[in-house]
Amino acid sequence: MEFINIKNLNYYYPNENEKALDNINLNIEKGELVLITGKSGSSKSTLGKAITGAVPNFYGGRIGGEILINQTDIKELKDGDRAKLVTMVLQHPEKSFLMDKVHREIAFGLENIAYDEKGIKRRVFEALEFCNILDLAYRNIDTLSGGEKQKLAIAAALSYSPECIILDEPTSQLDPSAAEEIVNIIKKINKELFITIMVIEQRTNKWLMAADRVLFMENGKISLDGSREEFYQSKIHKYNEFLPSYLRLLKRLNIGYKNSLKEAKEALNGIKVNKIENKIYPGNTLISIKNLKAGYGDRNVLDGINLDIKQGDFLGIIGSNGAGKTTLLKSVLNLIPYKGSVKISGIEASKMSLKEIGREIGYISQNPNDYIWKDTVYEEVKFTLSNYSIEDEDLVNQTLKQLDIYKYKDKNPRDLSGGELQRLAMAAVLVLKPKILILDEITRGIDPILKKRISGLLKKINESGTTIIIVTHDIENAALLCKNLALIINGEIVSYGSRDQVLKDGIYYSTDINKLFKNNVYLEEEVKNV
């Protein structure tokens, strides 16, 4: 049964002359689970917001065409009625929370749509139980992990009992275990409650197998609308980058579409691999961590961390949300008090000023907007040097060229794309030529094509002699980039060593390719047809 019907939809954001949505025509059937993927900036989220009415009601701008839900134009629906039909879970759920307690956050939304007061309590607790977080009902929201916040956002959406839920990058910030839970909850909502689901995602590994249908967007248009098999079989090369790694491998070996790792394993019977050794070249110790303990207030997060990071290393720190990865970074950067010892180039971090640490270590946070202060790209990078009383125009230009953003040097940073902004953040740190570069979730929320480009830049920077440490949930990318890995669980390093050593026996913390060729770690390019 036709549920959402979009005809000739066009949309311009305020003060923009280019269309964000360009002549979209789309029908969504009731009960479908639709995956929407495509490059960063292709207007996937804008399409979702248009279906909810947030575009243009909240964002402004100009819109044309029709969006019908159950044959009714959404322009004719009141806000509360629209929310009961279609609701959206945003990419950063914590930004939408308004209350302090979990149960109050869900109740607040129901009160806003004037839901029957007597039924609110039941809706709140049933939604929490359905999402398996009933035990969190009276917790403070700011104490929740990333996965728990995502479940809360889904429970809040579910409490409306809508006919459709749209989710924007619901697993982009989550560790493999939490991401698996979110996928299973969404599948359960779709299969048991018959709620139509639209998932906007660039990392398709978990979602493609769950989807009834795939939409690929580029430049505000839908360039592909088809089944999983049609997406896989397409001759258009750029679609391959958005396939899960095991499907990219099957396609390269001319094997037909398989809907699970189990089916892929059977199809790969007889395929062998040429092992590429993960060689480590140890250098001098730059960061030495001994018996590190740190936390917040009375809560201890890290419990006896011991780790040496050597010159030229490319270390990946992996582990679940809340495991202590970011706390470890904050300790190294002397941003929180700690017990034990953290030495940077032989000096205790607690005895160094932030400026002194900044000359040794360049830190890039999850959000590149943290680095935006000036009105041009050039001034932004120059600002870093000015803080250290350094005036070197050639160094600024050289750094911009290294990261391929010199052509934007006179542009306002706020007008850059996500990937360009990410490279500007890197330039603002690298211009000081730090010995060590630390990056926190550098590939979060960017498409596979852009991720490959940034990963290539990081490899070159590492090969030039800079030691790199990344914190990431993207195990596939960590396996491609990192020489060493440290797996942190419950505040302890439970596994440390080369990429091969750490991922070899992984359950959650492994790659799909390794699961297919168990007991050794392999990358996609290592597999050859016999």
Whether 294 and 174 share a structural domain: no
Q: CA 165, CA 174: separation in Å to the nearest integer? A: 20
Burial category of 216 from C-beta neighbours within 10 Å (exposed 0-12, middle 13-18, buried 19 and up): buried
For every residue of 197-232, which 3-state class applies, written as one string? EEEECCCCCCCCCCCCEEEEEECCEEEEEECHHHHH
Site of tokens 């009961």:
84
The last residue of one of the domains, among 261, 276, 298, is: 261
For residues 485 and 497, the answer to whether their CB atoms sit within 8 Å is yes
Q: CA 79, CA 239: separation in Å to the nearest integer? A: 37
Does residue 295 lie in a domain region?
yes
Whether 244 and 293 share a structural domain: no
Does residue 270 lie in a domain region?
no
3-state SS assignment for residue 298: coil
Q: Is the torsion defined by CA of 328, 333, 336, 337 positive or negative?
A: positive
Burial category of 187 from C-beta neighbours within 10 Å (exposed 0-12, middle 13-18, buried 19 and up): middle
Whether 188 and 105 share a structural domain: yes
Does residue 317 lie in a domain region?
yes
Does residue 275 lie in a domain region?
no
Whether 356 and 396 share a structural domain: yes
Angular region, 445: left φ>0, alpha ψ -120 to 50, beta rest = left
Domain that holds residue 98: 2-261
For residues 493 and 486, the answer to whether their CB atoms sit within 8 Å is yes
Whether 168 and 293 share a structural domain: no
Whether 106 and 188 share a structural domain: yes
For residues 16 and 62, the answer to whether their CB atoms sit within 8 Å is no
Q: What is the pTM of this model?
A: 0.85
Whether 246 and 300 share a structural domain: no
Structure tokens at 324: 């202590």
Which residues touch 171 (CB under 8 Å, ≥6 apart)? Answer: 150, 178, 179, 182, 183, 201, 203, 206, 207
Q: CA 254, CA 232: separation in Å to the nearest integer? A: 11
Does residue 277 lie in a domain region?
no
Whether 487 and 454 share a structural domain: yes
DSSP of 350-397 = GGS-HHHHHHHEEEE-S-GGGG--SSSHHHHHHHHHHTTT---HHHHH
DSSP of 116-141 = -HHHHHHHHHHHHHHTT-GGGTTSBG
Q: In this structure, are strands 221-226 and 484-489 parallel, antiparallel, or unpaired?
A: unpaired
Residue type present at position 482: C
Whether 256 and 304 share a structural domain: no
Structure tokens at 9: 């939809």
For residues 413 and 424, the answer to whether their CB atoms sit within 8 Å is yes
Does residue 425 lie in a domain region?
yes
CA angle 234, 473, 286 (to 5 degrees): 125
Q: CA 291, CA 296: separation in Å to the nearest integer? A: 17
Does residue 271 lie in a domain region?
no
Q: CA 442, CA 474: separation in Å to the nearest integer? A: 10
Whether 252 and 291 share a structural domain: no
Burial category of 142 from C-beta neighbours within 10 Å (exposed 0-12, middle 13-18, buried 19 and up): exposed
For residues 527 and 249, the answer to whether their CB atoms sit within 8 Å is yes
Identify how many contiguous H helices and E strands the chain contains and give both numbers. Answer: 20, 22
What confidence score (pLDDT) does residue 530 get?
A: 40
Domain count for the chain? 2
Q: CA 157, CA 144: separation in Å to the nearest integer? A: 18
Which residues touch 291 (CB under 8 Å, ≥6 apart)? Answer: 304, 305, 306, 339, 340, 341
What confidence score (pLDDT) does residue 147 get?
A: 84
Mean pLDDT by 10 residues, the chain (530 residues): 93 92 96 94 92 93 95 90 90 85 93 85 95 94 86 94 94 84 95 96 90 96 96 91 92 91 88 65 87 88 93 94 88 94 95 92 82 87 89 90 87 77 85 90 79 86 92 89 93 92 84 78 59
Query: What is the CATH classification number for the domain harbouring 298?
Result: 3.40.50.300
3-state SS assignment for residue 34: strand
For residues 41 and 63, the answer to whether their CB atoms sit within 8 Å is no
Burial category of 154 from C-beta neighbours within 10 Å (exposed 0-12, middle 13-18, buried 19 and up): buried
The last residue of one of the domains, among 204, 227, 261, is: 261
Q: CA 206, CA 325: separation in Å to the nearest integer? A: 24
For 248, the enclosing helix (H) or strand (E) is helix 245-252
Whether 353 and 447 share a structural domain: yes
Does residue 10 lie in a domain region?
yes
Q: Where are the strands (E) in 30-182, listed by range? A: 33-38, 62-69, 72-73, 86-89, 164-168
Q: In this structure, are strands 221-226 and 213-218 parallel, antiparallel, or unpaired?
A: antiparallel
Structure tokens at 231: 């997406």
Structure tokens at 519: 């007991």
For residues 43 and 217, the answer to whether their CB atoms sit within 8 Å is yes
Q: CA 123, CA 107: separation in Å to the nearest integer? A: 8
Whether 54 and 153 share a structural domain: yes
